[in-house]
Amino acid sequence: MKIDDKYVHQAIIAREIIDLYRDSQDKRETAESLDVLCFAMARLTDCDKVDYPTIDWDDLASNFDGIATSQASDMLAIQKIENDIESIYKRSSRIIEKNN
């Protein structure tokens, strides 16, 4: 079943944002910027007004905010957040693959 192009494009954006984080040297500084982008995407897509958004941009923003504001020594919390981000990445990839 084909998914609306808007959802596929959101999945592509989410995956690229996560790749930017993965490839960055300064994870905390990058996470701070990506938090802002994801928050803006949440407002643009009205994801807070939908029960099951394609990409929960508010969650992704919160994840990046958690990394940006974490202490470097809090590796367990950062790992949990990165696992959440990885789940979003996998979901985005599945959406994209279903529509190719």
When pLDDT is cut at 50, 70 and 90, the band that residue 51 belongs to is low
Q: Is 3 left (phi over 0), alpha (psi -120 to 50) or beta?
A: beta
When pLDDT is cut at 50, 70 and 90, the band that residue 49 belongs to is low
Q: What is the mean pLDDT of residues 61-70?
A: 96
When pLDDT is cut at 50, 70 and 90, the band that residue 1 belongs to is very low
pLDDT for 48 equals: 65
Q: What is the mean pLDDT of residues 31-54?
A: 86
